[in-house]
Structure 1
């Protein structure tokens, strides 16, 4: 009886253990979590990678969602992990642990076909590649197999630890994304007046001799290649996009860009003020036809989009211009006053290195001649000026300064110092006419030449002596004229006084003359009576 009881107890215990063992296969997954299934043993092992696509031993591709699940005890282990949550206005990055290896030309894994990160089996069967992915995760909640994928967000890193070095690789990737500001979208506000310069870090390298990648994938009607401002990396590369700095820029808006694929550098917009035009010197583009003609050998003038000086300037306004692909040279279209005066500078400051023209006159004096020249640049001819000289200041210092100085040195040699002073108006008129053709040759319009009074240095007193003599001579001439006028005035004064005195004695003279006549008549009358 004791043996029977003992066997009964053992059977009961065995049954309880068997029931408990069977019940140990029950797994409860909360709705805010997932279960990652690891199969410890089976008939086959995984031949490549570590995700068991065909029920082999290893990590299974499908995850367990919220609810009750039953798995064979001992054969399966379930790793409970949270759902991946990407907050509003944030970006998540994916790192695939299993899949096809990247090609030598790739930095990031392609997601053209394998782009569903919530279906690990489909990802791998569609040729998904291991490593950092081109596609990013936008805001939302995702049930992702964290044995196959590592999800890096700003708040935390979602992953299933597999080894000691695993976390180090992930942390390095997270630091790089943080340094590039990659967890937030690129936001360009209209109040900032900025443009975004994009640099691509994946794809084919630029051909030799090129520094800027051309614009591709901008046709909105082509869904295969339109990449919507670099937000769809695979479409960009399919359109023929190159690695490196891009010609296309980003303007105002919000862009969800994978910062491992592309980085964005902000630059100010180019502003062309009223009264100026912007001549574009492009560093990139095709080799266009030289519009300046075969006789004009001062660089190439090309149509917009080609390499060289663009024939059409930018009119006043605001432009999102890529300053890495070229430069914009501002050319004034208002009148430019150039002053050959050391102590004065014009408003455009092109003449800050100019000084008075040193002359040697016909009578061997050496005065310095201050002068001002007013010029104008036609906005349509501004590209020709930049094509020839590079910028307006170089034009002034390397061409106009020696040309104007030489002209007035020649004028000074044909006139004495006094003639130079006295004939200034005539010299201005003649120089304005004669120099117009010289300025026209350089695509400039000469408006007026203004000449100042010749000056001298403080140690040279000879010119001042001549000027003093000239002043004395003029004073003498004026004195002669004054004396002559005074003499004439005195003669007239004498005549006036005689006339006045005669007028005052006129009555007495008249009375005496009448008295004489009366007496004469009386005498004649008495004589007649006596006879």
Structure 2
């Protein structure tokens, strides 16, 4: 019996040993930690250590150790709790923003933790040993990378990279840095790779508030949103900007486009005080059409309207925190005083039909004025008439307030004042008869007013003058008809005088031609020969004289048988001889009649 009991006990001991061995093997197997690539593990002690830690980093490392992937570790499970984590992977269109859960506390007024190099927060012991601080960190995790970051010490938030659409700009407002000096609206410029290097921004003295540099459109930027607010056309949160810039609209975050028929006048909001308050600020070199504000400010640029303008036909990346652009038309502008839709977006929308009262008669006048604003004049107009639009704010594309005020406050006042003077100094009859003078005087006044502003007047046209009285309209039409007839008669008189002058000139030219021909014949043939030939031509062209016979008895009349001419002798004119040899005596009275041409040739004078 004892043998049986001993055998059973021995068997039990063997079974217990085998069970213990199996248990040990299982525990050893569980304690082998195989960490694959792409993962890491955090090994937490189940029991605290009796040893004193010399630093927070040592205590964290002892109590919660991070093991990287690609290796095999032995950690007894009865002493440690092993937690597997995937590597923190940052997509290509994103960045990682890190918040430290351990470390020193932030100082009073410190918005972001001090930078501590620690291998992209993968070396938490270095971070803690070098006095890393809790809270948001300056450095970000770049896109496309994988990071083994201790989750007990750090928290990582993945956010999209900042994208600025094409043909737009991104403006930046810093939430960290030094405080701007009093009276400034733009922070000091710091080169920091488009605000992607937050460490350099703070090390070089970057200031809080609106920044001078812009983010060009079409790019993605790894910007720490805990340090900077970025305003784009698609992301405009006015709560992120100071109250002084709450006027911003999405249109202000686009490239400034100045059309080919426009001039861009730049109004700078930051800079030195103007030396001459009556003139636009002088030109500053090197800022590339106000696209580099820091160069403009470093070279002593003054705030206010600038004498340098933006040529038309191009686009410009202008920081709306630094300046705004007023578009002044450089094409011909046509203003019309007449009835129109007041709500229409026109420069002459406030110019009503001109109405004058003369001797109780109401007269309406339509006026049209054309003028051109040269590019060099545009800054002076903005300086004099201003550009703040109280109704619509200061942003967006709209009609220039300076040109609007030039039209209404200058031209409108000049025209209205002139016709008020006319109504007090002219009778209705004088106004009707002196319309040309009225037109000339008004044209002179308008052109003078424009030239005083260095604006080029082109054409002043006074249209129809209408009387509200039908009687006066009829009288006016009658006078107009008489004037038209007078003009027609005057033109006919001028035409008759011209025709007379033409005939006189033609006769004169003909005489000169004959004189020249005669002189040439005399030179070649001699005076006597020419005279003889001319007399011969005259003789040959004579006609036989007509013989008129009057008698009561027709039977006693016979015509002469022969009428012959005797040639010229001794310089005397030829004499016509009547041969009457065969003619019987004639008692009747005979009268010789010559035609007009023969009288001229035979005149003895």
Same fold flag (TM > 0.5): yes
Q: 2-side partners of 1:80 and 1:527: how far apart?
A: 171
User: Is the 2:42–2:84 Cα contact (8 Å) retained in structure 1?
Assistant: yes
1:485-524 alignment to 2 at 5 Å? 514-516=548-550, 522=557
Q: 1:130 aligns with which of 131, 134, 159?
A: 134
- Alignment-derived partner of residue 465 in structure 2: 454
The alignment partner of 1:277 has SS state of strand
* 1:77 corresponding residue in structure 2: 81
Alignment of 1:196-345 (within 5 A): 196-210=170-184, 212-214=185-187, 216-217=189-190, 226-252=191-217, 253-262=219-228, 263-266=230-233, 267-283=253-269, 285-291=270-276, 296=278, 305-316=301-312, 317-343=314-340
Does the residue aligned with 2:202 lie in a helix, a strand or coil? helix
In the alignment, structure 1 residue 373 sits paired with structure 2 residue 347: no
1:272 deviates by 0.5
Give the Cα–Cα distance (whole angstroms) in 2 for the partners of residues 449 and 479 of structure 1. Answer: 26
Contact 2:280 / 2:307 at 8 angstroms: preserved in 1?
no
In structure 2, what is the Cα distance between the partners aligned to 1:352 and 1:478?
Answer: 38
Report if the CA contact (8 A) 1:341-1:371 is conserved: yes
State the alpha-carbon separation in 2 of the partners of residues 480 and 276 from structure 1.
49
Does the Cα contact within 8 Å between 1:117 and 1:144 map onto a contact in 2? yes
In the alignment, the residues of structure 1 paired with residue 483 and residue 304 of structure 2 have an alpha-carbon distance, to the nearest angstrom, of: 61
- CA–CA distance in structure 2, aligned partners of residues 128 and 479 of structure 1: 101
Change in 2 beyond 3 A, CA 1:463/1:208: farther
Q: Residues 19-69 of structure 1: CA distance to partner in whole angstroms, max 9, x if unpaired?
A: 6656654322222321112233223355875xx426775223x43432211
The Cα offsets for residues 166-190 of structure 1, whole Å up to 9 and x where unpaired, read as xxxxxxxxxxxxxxxx42441433x
Query: 32, 57, 81: which one pairs with 2:38?
Result: 32
Residues 101/115 of structure 1: CA separation in 2 closer, same or farther (3 Å cut): farther
Q: CA contact under 8 A between 1:272 and 1:318: conserved in structure 2?
A: yes
Unaligned runs of 5+ in 2: 234-252, 285-295, 387-401, 491-544, 559-583, 589-605
Q: What TM-score results when the alignment is normalised by the length of structure 1?
A: 0.72
**Inter-CA distance 376–518: structure 2 relative to 1 (3 Å threshold):** farther
Mark the CA change 1:462 to 1:287 in structure 2 (over 3 Å): closer, same or farther. farther
Say if 2:393 is the partner of 1:396: no
How many angstroms apart in 2 are the aligned matches of 1:321 and 1:366?
53
Matches within 5 A, 1:63-74: 63-71=67-75, 74=78
Q: Distance in 2 between matches of 1:475 and 1:435?
A: 28
- Given that 1:278 and 1:330 are in contact with CA atoms closer than 8 Å, whether structure 2 keeps it comes out as yes
Alpha-carbon distance between aligned partners in 2 of 1:215 and 1:315, rounded to the nearest angstrom:
29
What CA distance in whole angstroms lies between the structure 1 residues aligned with 2:220 and 2:129? 34
> Aligned partners of 1:31, 1:344: CA distance in 2, in Å?
75
How many Å separate the matches in 2 of 1:97 and 1:478? 99
- TM score, norm. by length of structure 2: 0.64
Asked whether 1:463 is paired with 2:472, we answer yes
Q: Give the secondary structure class of the aligned counterpart of 1:466.
A: helix
Aligned equivalents of 1:197 and 1:43: distance in 2?
55
Gaps of 5+ in 1: 154-181, 218-225, 482-509
- Calculate the aligned-residue CA RMSD, in Å: 3.9
Distance of aligned partners of 1:426 and 1:16 in 2 relative to their CA distance in 1, 3 Å threshold: same
1:351 equivalenced with 2:348 (yes/no): yes
Cα distance in 2, alignment partners of residues 201 and 16 from structure 1: 62
SS of residue matched to 1:327 = strand
In the TM superposition, what whole-angstrom CA distance separates every residue of 1:260-308 from its partner, at most 9, and x where no partner exists?
332332222211111111112222x22243345xxx3x88778565321
- Say if 1:307 and 1:105 are closer, same or farther in 2 by CA, change over 3 A: farther
Is the deviation greater in 310-319 or in 418-427? 418-427
Question: For residues 471 and 276 of structure 1, do their structure 2 counterparts lie closer, same or farther at Cα, with a shift above 3 Å needed?
Answer: closer
- Structure-2 separation of matches of 1:480 and 1:183: 86
In the alignment, the residues of structure 1 paired with residue 489 and residue 76 of structure 2 have an alpha-carbon distance, to the nearest angstrom, of 136
Partner Cα separation in structure 2 for residue 349 and residue 464 of structure 1: 32
The offset of 1:146, in angstroms, is 2.0
Q: Using the alignment, how far apart are the partners of 1:519 and 1:343 within structure 2?
A: 100
State how far apart, in whole Å, the 1-side matches of 2:488 and 2:317 are. Answer: 72
Quote how far apart the aligned CAs of 1:12 are.
6.8
Structure-2 separation of matches of 1:54 and 1:344: 80
**Which of 146, 149, 153 lines up with 1:144 in the alignment?**
149
User: How many residues were matched structurally?
Assistant: 447
2:485 and 2:125 mapped to 1: Cα distance?
114
Cα pair distance change 1:349/1:13, threshold 3 Å: closer
